[in-house]
Structure formats: structure tokens, C-alpha cells
Structure 1
Amino acid sequence: MGAAVSQALAALGLGAQPPAAWLAAAALGLVALGTLAWRRARPRRRGRLQQVGTVQQLYIYPVKSCKGVAVSEAECTALGLRRGHLRDRFWLVINEKGNMVTARQEPRLVLISLICEGDALTLSAAYTKDLLLPVQTPPTNAVVKCRVHGLEVQGRDCGEAAAEWVTSFLKSQPYRLVHFEPHMRPRKPHQMFDVFRPKDQIAYSDASPLLILSQASLADLNSRLEKKVKAANFRPNIVISGCGVYAEDSWNELLIGDVELRRVMACSRCILTTVDPDTGVMSRKEPLDTLKSYRLCDPSEQNLYGKSPLFGQYFVPENPGTIKVGDAVYLLGREKAS
């Protein structure tokens, strides 16, 4: 054994022990170092997990304000849910000035669906011939500047055929369809609501990558309405069953599958909720009027929500992962690492 090695072993207090002994000691040292590094990288550990519900439904809305796609499982990314080539609010209808167009202006948008099969996207609507588009928008198509809730964001134009199809279906003014690509700079909801963190990001969603609603809250609202409404009126990404009415209002941190989620704020509701998802007709009345009768914010929060009723909660993912229908939903109790 060389002098340098002997000195190193002596410094570790191993002296001239047999190789097996100091190899075991070295292995234990590496384990200890690894544990210390993990603790430094993850300063908090999960406390006791309490199941508060079950994932009943998952929805991706590929085109903002258009039909949702029910999926059995989805990747949870920083920009929202993803299933294959379908990503949440990654397509957007805009007018000639580049401003977003939603069901607030064009209620019949809720009748348009976008599905993906292989390398093709299909735009569909009743009594209208389907339009096939490539999954990857041609790179030669123009990249345009769009505005979504006052914030500028890019989109690649999906071409003349898509523009003509959307314009022909809505029959009001010229529109275009654009696609957000992963290399484009996302919007920062922190610029609209300072309760979000500077690192939180979205593509064409209103304010947050994830909206959670409980089945119990929807049932409670329907018990107050003459004409029942659906989850589709509120466009949630995750519907939770097996919990109390408005339990989601108090869930600050959740674990679903291997994804940790953090609640940011409630979702304030507008006239889009009054659009019938089956007919595309806007009533401008219900369920909004009923929600205003019992779901207004505390006066101390009016600077955040104004006079809009609250229904559902905005969450942001703390890590990527997979969420499945049937997954248990756990409320995270946190404790500081020792």
C-alpha cells in the first residue's frame, strides 16, 4: 500500500485495516454525503398526508374558449396539462389586430373541438366540414404578436385554411388561428396578479396553468339553479370528487400522483360561464347571477377580485409529473427538515 494511501487512511482513522473494512466505511461515508446533499437540495420534507378527495375528471382545452378534451391521464408541466401533442390553451383565435378572441365575444367558439390523431390535428364543429392541420405548424408561417389580457405573447399563424375555417364558422369578422410553440416566451401571471411568483408562467390561459374545481361545489351550485350547469361552463382542468362543498378553497398544497401543487388564488367568474357549452348561446344571466348572491369575496380582497363571484381555485405545479383519473388527492402537511 503506497505512502499517500496509508496517510489518507490514517486521517480517516482506518489505519491499515483490511480492504473490506475500509471499503465499507467509505460506502457509509458516501451514503451520508448523499443524504446530506438531498436534504440541502430539498429543505422541506412532506409531513403527514391526508387524503381529501379523488381525481374524477381531467380536461385539456387545446384552443382557448373551445371544447375541452377529457383525458384519463396527463403530464403536468409548468405551462399546464399535456397529453401527447395536445397542450392546454396552446392555440388561440385572434382578430386582425392580434387581440385574443374568446367565448366572451364569440360564444359559438365553445362548439369547436380540436383533436389529435397521429401527426394531424382536426378542427371540428357541427354542420361544418372538418379541417385537417399538421401537428407541427410549418416554420415558414409567420410568427405574430398577440395580446392576451393585456400581455403580449407570440403565436405562429396556422395558415390561410385555418383562418378561413374559423372565420366561416363564426360568421362575424376575419379571424386567425395561432399556435404557441415551446421556444416562445410565456406570459407571466405575476404581471397581472402579484400573488403569483415571478417564475410562474402560462401560454394563452387567463391567469394560471391549472384550475381545480370540486364536484361537491358544482352540485351545491346546481341545487340553487332551475337549469343545471356542467363543469364545462367553468372549464376546470381537474375535477375532484369525494370532498366537502368548497373544500378546494382551503387546500393550500396538494399532492396528486407525483405532482405537488400550490394554490395561488380563487378564480373570479365572468359572463363566459353563462355560455351554454352545448348550444353556444350566451344568456348573460345564469349561473353568474346566482353565484353573485353567495360567492363574493371578503371586502378585504376586493382589490384582487373586485365584485366578481369566485368559483374554483387556481393552482401552480411545483414539479412536473403525471396525474391520472382515479388518483388520490392528498393535502400536504409541511414541517421543516431537522
Structure 2
Amino acid sequence: MTQERTSVSTTPPLPGLELVQQINEALATVASDFAGDDDPAALAMPYARWADTGTGRWRMRNAAGTAWIDLGPLAAEDAVPVDGAVLASQAWVLARTMPTFLAGTEPTTNAGDIWINGVGACRWDAGDARYWLIPTYTNSILVTASGTVARPGAYVKYGQWDGCGGGGSGGRGSTVGSGRSSGGGGGAAIFREAFTFSDTPMSITIGAGGAGPGGASSPTAGNDGGATVFNGVTLGGGKAGASSNTLNVEGGEGGTSASPRTVPGQFGDYASTSNLLSSGGSSGFGFGLGGRNGRPNTTGTAWPEGYGAGSGGVGGSNTNAAASGFIRIWY
């Protein structure tokens, strides 16, 4: 790689050997672009490129030939995805097509979309008068216990969240082969609801699954699931499954929520005969299933499968708790 004039001198006289040398040097520069730690501005034409080894930046001359445009780092592309890119090459391409800055050195006025090294593509927010990460919603935080969640990065503002309430547990008949028991309902669910991170950690309550009714000698109903609460939205827990020695009883109701974008949990099912398990309800968006209708209750299994699922009812002792809720945050 060289940094020489890309045109031959037109000032005579020009001896043959010098002409050949100038042509070879110009061709070598054209073939390899400029490279080095000295600014080749005096030699460069519009759209010429320069590997600035002094600062480790890849630059291109603007259309007027008056300034360099920063295309990104000279470092080789990472072998694994970076900055939320689906592919490593995606992050590389984005960095080369946007003005690039180190964190903390970005513009303090709107300069269009930019790339911040170690952060990703960022966009100006006029209300905050600063740059925030453009979310890809490919990064996530799974929360299964009550507590708080903080902003996952200094440039992260926008997110989406999924979640559901805890499932209700199924009821129990008095003994194996007698009594009609019903499955618990699933917790109310929400899918990809948009929200904005606050400057302080945000509170999360995860609804617990209803406890199994145990092994009492009389028909016993299950227990309701707990509510999951985040960002001002309450996702109700599923209702308990009932039990009766004489009738087929309906399953527990699914959990509900006042938010218009949530989906109620599904009702639990009930056993049509006394020697079958009843089915627990499923929460919305497939976040869980209860014990499956038709499985012999003599196995004593009615475990829920997935977040927010109600557990099945059982003839006889039923210690099977329903599944708890969850929150997953995407950014």
C-alpha cells in the first residue's frame, strides 16, 4: 500500500524513466487505496479511501474533496454477533454506513442516525436532547422472581415485554377413582407490549402458581394463582379448579387483566369420568399447559408445562402446584 499522487505530472520535461515510475506509483495507490498515518488529503480525489493507521479508522473523501468521512474501525469484523446484530456482518455494515463515535463523544445535536462503538446504531431523541440505542429486540432479560429490573445499558430507553400471571391449581377428588375434579385456569398473558425504561429500577411482581390442595379426605378445590405486575399492568392469576363427589365441575377460570392488549388465561378442563385427570388451563400465547385430560389419575401426575399454566385435577391426593408467572424484557 502506498500514498502517492494518483495522476502523472504534466510539467515538462519528463524523462521516460521518471514517467514510468510515476505511473507505477499512481497505479499502486489506486489499486490499494491510501494507507498510513499521514493525511493524504493533498493527493486524494473525491470518494478516495484512506486506511488511517494512526487512529485505526477507515475514511472516505467527500464528494467535494474537502473532508474525510469516517466509515468505521479498521479492526476486522467480529466472528460473533455484536451490538444486537443478527449476524456479525450486519453490525459491520451498519458501522460502515453511519458516522461512528466512541461512547461519550457522540454529537449533542441531531446529526442523523449514528453508530456508537460498543453500543450499536443510535437515533436522536428530541425530547431528551440525546442519542438512544435503536432497539433490535433481540436481547432479552428473563425475570422469574419478584424484584426490580434496571436499564440494561446507558443508551437503552425503549423495550418490549412478555409475561403472564401464575396458574391456578387443580382440585382433588376424595379418593382415586372417585370424585370429579377440575383443572386450574391459566394466568392472563401479554405479548410484546412496548414500554420505556425509567431512570430508576422498575418494580416487578411475579405471580406464584397456586399450591396443590394436598391429600385431605374430602373433595377439595385447588388454589388461585398470583398476579404478575409490571409497568402499571396487572396480569391476573388463574382461578382454582373445583372438586365434587357427585358432578363434573367446570375448570378454573383463566386470569384476566384490564389492559386491552392482554389475553385472558384459558379455562381449566374437567374430568368426564372419575378415573381420569382433568386438564389445567393454558395461558395465552402458549405460555403453558396443565395436566392433560385423559391421563389415568392413578399415576398421580398433573404437572403444568410452561409459565402461567394451571395444574390438573386429580382423584385422590393432589400436591401438584401450578406454574408461576414470568416477565421477559426485550430491547
TM-score bracket, shorter-length normalisation: under 0.3
Rg larger in 1 or in 2?
Answer: 2
- Higher helix fraction: Structure 1 or Structure 2? 1
Structure 1 length normalisation: TM-score? Answer: 0.22
Structure 2 length normalisation: TM-score? Answer: 0.22
